Amino acid sequence: MDTRPATTMDAALVDHFVEHFDHHDARLGADPFAVSTAMREQCPVGHSDVHDGFWVVSDYEDARAIMQNPVVFTSAKGARIPAGGKHRSLPPLETDPPDHAKFRGLIAKAFSPRNINALEPKIRRLCGMLIDQFHAKSECDFVRDFAAPLPTTIFVEMMGLPVEDTESFHTWATLINHQAHAGDTAMSAGEAQQRTLKYLADLIEARRADPQDDIMSALLDAVVDDEPIDPEDMLYMVFLLFLGGLDTVTSAMSFMFQHLAQRPDLRQQILDDPTVIPRAVEEFLRYEPVIMIGRGVTEDVELSGCPVKAEDRVLINSIAANRDPAQFTDPEEIDFSRDANRHLTFGVGPHRCVGSHLARLELKIVLEEFHARIPHYSITPGTTPTRHMNQVNGLDSLSLTWTA
Ligand code: HEM
C-alpha cells in the first residue's frame, strides 16, 4: 500500500530535490514532507551536489546513531551547511567532547527544569496580554501577533537584553536564520549578524561595568579550564542562545496552530481533556521538527551501505526521520495518544537541546491559555500560510479568524 501523503508538489520537482536536495531552496517549502518521504524510501542516505556536496540522512536509525557519535560525526566543523563565510564555532553547539561539556555546563543550570518552571506565571501573564490585544478583533496574524513576541519577550528578559529592542532582535534573528523573510528590511543576513554581534558585545561590556540579575551577567564570572572564559567564546555562546531562543519556538508554535486550525477534531480533544496537552506538544514536535542539523565526518564510515568519507558533511533530515515508519506507527497521523514518542526534534546525545524545557513549557502554556480564550478558530479564507525553508524552517504568517 502506498502510505505517502498526497502532495501538490510537482512530481518532477520532488525528483529534482531527491537528486539535488537543498534545504535553503524556497521551493522546498511547498512540501518538504513529500521530498523527505521520497528520499527516505529511495535513498535513506543520499548525496546532494549543492553547497559543495553533502550527505542527507533521512532514516531514523542512522540519524539517531549520528547524533550519538560525536567522535565520528563532529560538530566542531560546524552544524550549519554551508558553513557560510569564515567559520567561527558557536559553543557549545559547534564543539566536541570533552570541551563541549565545559561550555554546556555554563548555561545548563539557567535552563534547568527548576529554573524554567519558575517562569510559568510570567509566561501565562504574557499570553493573556497578547491575546487581549487581538481577541475582540476576531482575527490575528498568529505569527506576528503571538508566536513571535511571546518567546522573544521571555528570552529577552531571561538574558537581560533591553526589552525595548525586542522587535529589532526578532528582525535580526529572522534575517540571519532565513534572510528572505524579514519583511521590507533591506539588511542582508551578514549585516544582521554583524549588527547583532556588535550589539551583544557592547551589552556584555555594559554588564561587566554594571552586573544585573540575568544570564549574561552570570556568564561574566564563567571559568573554563581554570581561566576566565575567552571573551570571544562568551560572545558567540550568547549569539547561539540568541539564534536558538528567538526563532525556533516561534516556528514550533506556528506549526502547531496551523494544524489545529485545520483540524477541529484535534482541537476538540484539547478542549475536552486539557491533560492531553503535554502529549499533544510532543506529537506536534515530532510532526514538525523545525531544525535540520549538520555534522562533519572525521573518518571513513559506512552508513546504510553508503561510503561516507572523512571530511564529508552530513545533514540530518529530521523531517524524514521523525516520520520513519520503522520507528513510528502511522507516522503521517497526528496522534496525541502515541506512546514512546522518541522524536529527534531536540536532538539526542551530548548536544541535546539545552532550551528544550523552556520550549516545552511555552508550547504547553500557549495551548492552555489560547484555547481557554479562543476555542474555535480557522485559517482566514483566501489566505495560505507559506513555509520558509532553511536549517530552521517556519511560517511567514498564519492568518486566523474566529467568532468573538
Ligand atoms: C522548539 C524549539 C527548539 C528546537 C526544535 C530546538 C532544537 C535543537 C536541536 C535539534 C539541538 C541539537 C543540535 C545538535 O545536535 O547539533 C539543539 C541544541 C541547542 N539548543 Fe535548541 N531548540 C529549540 C529551542 C531552544 C531554545 C528556546 C534555546 C535557548 C534559549 C535553545 C538552545 C539550544 C542550545 C544552546 C543548543 C546547543 C546544545 C549543545 O550543543 O550542547 N534551543 N536545539
pLDDT at 41: 96
DSSP labels for 330-398? STTS--TT-SS----TT--GGG--TTHHHHHHHHHHHHHHHHHH----EEPTT----EE-SSB-EES--
Nearest Cα to 393, choosing from 237, 296, 298, 289? 289
d(CA 184, CA 203): 27
Residue (of 169, 320, 190) closest to 247 by Cα position: 169
Is ligand 1 within 6 A of the CB of residue 241? yes
Per residue in 347-360, pLDDT tens?
999 999 999 999 99
What's the CATH class of domain 11-401? mainly alpha
Q: Please name the residue whose Cα sits nearest to atom 14 of ligand 1.
A: 351
Sequence spans of domains, the chain: 11-401
Mean pLDDT, residues 4-22 taken together: 86
Atom of ligand 1 nearest to the CA of 318: 10
Ligand 1 neighbour 252 (Cβ under 6 A): yes
- Over pLDDT 90: what percentage of the chain? 79
- Contact in structure between 175 and 209 (CB atoms under 8 Å): no
pTM of the model: 0.95
pLDDT for 301 equals 98
* pLDDT one-digit tens code per residue, 161-189: 998 998 888 888 888 887 655 555 568 88
The cell numbers describing 158, all together, are 531571561
Q: Does the CB atom of residue 345 touch ligand 1 within 6 A?
A: yes
CA of 351 to the centre of ligand 1 (A): 8
β-bridge pairing 313-316 and 54-57: parallel
pLDDT value of residue 2: 44
CA of 6 to the centre of ligand 1 (A): 31
Beta-bridge mates of residue 47: 55
Query: Ligand 1 centre from 252 Cα, in Å?
Result: 12
Query: 356-373 and 277-287 are packed helices; what angle lies between their axes, rounded to 10 degrees?
Result: 120
